[in-house]
Amino acid sequence: MSSQTEGKPASTATASSAHTKSSPDTPWIEKYRPEKLSEIVGNEETVRRLQVFAQQGNMPNLLLSGSPGIGKTTSILALAKEMLGGVYKDAVLELNASDERGIDVVRNRIKMFAQKKVTLPPGRHKIIILDEADSMTMGAQQALRRTMEIYSSTTRFALACNLSTKIIEPIQSRCAMLRYQKLTDDQLLRRLVEICKAEGVDYEGDGMDALLFTAEGDLRSAVNALQSTYYGFGLISASNVLRVCDQPHPLVVRSMMEACVVPDLDGALQELKGLWRLGYSSIDLISTIFKVVKGLDKMDEALQLKFIREVGFTHMRILEGVGSYTQLSGLLARLCRLSLPEKVLPKDP
């Protein structure tokens, strides 16, 4: 885990002064959810396109795809609020993954909303937001494509999904595709610091590094971990964050990987044994190993790629159900073998 912060870094922006210190039962992901497109963190090019739609008012059907927690739904909600203003509540229908997503919903609820008469500003349309659209059944998607055509003069659809490949081609062809990328560590850090200042949260540099390491570009996950750590321990430190997220300590895993580079198999196995005794599952360990190997900056690039390949194969076997201690020990042995000079490797029979 490389150091991103030292002490308390200065924020490049300030959190909204309208926010006040919240109680433990107020989710910060909702309290600090951006209300305007200009407040959204990351994916600047995509957000700029949405801002053009908001200014011109002629929004096409949209399909937003990308990893969880990077601002897809928030972007659509902010766009709808800027376009529709005071009639937002009457002119927007939002369905998320917790709702029934079968064909009956398309035929009844969505169709009834599309037929509803609403007084809108000139050039604006009603908006139907389908969050986690890739969880819709094939029948519902087939019914939806016809609905999108019939009511195109009054209604626009915005579909958010993690995998656009699960959306049928006829719907994809009717939508403008917007792809969202994971947020960078700098973008995550800037937003986390804003929230810390607004809430009066004490934090350490290594604590922020731990949040960035565990979040992997997911701002929602980072904010949730920040709030949980603060209300659990009162201080954002690396040890507290990792206890809340229940992940193997990346410094221990890094030490284990550096032992494989030397190579020192006995030292690497000793580190693995310590982590295994703490009760971490194989999937937790292999996931952390993968993230640590990607971040080993002082490692030869060719060797690093070989390490990543071996870790990937082991990850696949663990996902298939072979998650024993022996599997992980074998991985360390193979990594140490890769680090040996070719002249000392035994020839294959």
Residue 118 falls inside a structural domain: yes
**DSSP 8-state assignment for residue 176:** E
Q: Which of 179, 211, 229 is the last residue of a domain?
A: 179
Residue 8 falls inside a structural domain: no
Identify the band that residue 97 occupies on the pLDDT scale cut at 50, 70 and 90: low
pLDDT for res 309: 94
Residue 285 falls inside a structural domain: yes
Closest CA to 247 of 311, 290, 187, 217: 290
Residue 36 falls inside a structural domain: no
Residue 319 falls inside a structural domain: yes
d(CA 111, CA 144) in angstroms, rounded, equals 9
Listed ranges 55-59, 106-110, 169-173; the one with the highest mean pLDDT: 169-173
Q: Which of 154, 179, 204 is the last residue of a domain?
A: 179
pLDDT for res 10: 36
Inter-residue contact 331 to 311 (CB < 8 Å) = yes
Residue 31, strand partner residues: none
d(CA 22, CA 18) in angstroms, rounded, equals 12
- In this prediction, residues 292-311 reach a mean pLDDT of 88
Provide the 3-class DSSP secondary structure of residue 339: helix
What is the C-alpha end-to-end distance of the chain, expressed in Å?
A: 40
pLDDT for res 345: 52
Q: Report the Cα 45 to chain-centroid distance in Å.
A: 18
Residue 72 falls inside a structural domain: yes
Inter-residue contact 33 to 172 (CB < 8 Å) = no
Same domain, 257 and 174: no
Which range marks the domain in which residue 66 is found?
43-179
pLDDT for res 149: 86
CATH (domain of 333): 1.20.272.10
3-state secondary structure 66-108: CCCCCCHHHHHHHHHHHHHHHHHHHHEEEECCCCCCCHHHHHH
Evaluate if residue 17 carries a pLDDT over 60: no
Strands 126-130 and 155-161: parallel
Same domain, 66 and 172: yes
Same domain, 48 and 152: yes
Evaluate if residue 99 carries a pLDDT over 70: no
pLDDT for res 346: 57
Identify the band that residue 342 occupies on the pLDDT scale cut at 50, 70 and 90: low
Same domain, 285 and 163: no
Closest CA to 191 of 30, 4, 12: 12
One-letter identity of residue 127? I
Residue 287 falls inside a structural domain: yes
CATH (domain of 103): 3.40.50.300
Sign of torsion over alpha carbons 226, 228, 231, 232: negative
What Rg value do the Cα atoms of the chain yield, rounded? 24
Q: Which of 19-28, 36-45, 56-65 has the lowest mean pLDDT?
A: 19-28
Residue 328 falls inside a structural domain: yes
- In this prediction, residues 215-219 reach a mean pLDDT of 88
What's the domain count of the chain?
Answer: 2
Evaluate if residue 226 carries a pLDDT over 90: yes
Q: Which of 118, 151, 179 is the last residue of a domain?
A: 179
Same domain, 148 and 260: no
Closest CA to 331 of 344, 342, 317, 321: 317
Task: Enter the pTM of the model.
Answer: 0.77
Q: At what angle do helices 301-319 and 325-339 cross, to 10 degrees?
A: 160
Evaluate if residue 136 carries a pLDDT over 90: no
Residue 95 phi, psi (nearest 5):
-120, 130
H helical segments located in the chain: 28-31, 44-56, 72-84, 88-91, 103-105, 111-115, 138-150, 169-173, 185-199, 205-215, 219-233, 238-245, 250-261, 265-277, 282-294, 301-319, 325-339
Q: Which of 124-138, 283-297, 335-349 has the lowest mean pLDDT?
A: 335-349
pLDDT for res 6: 46
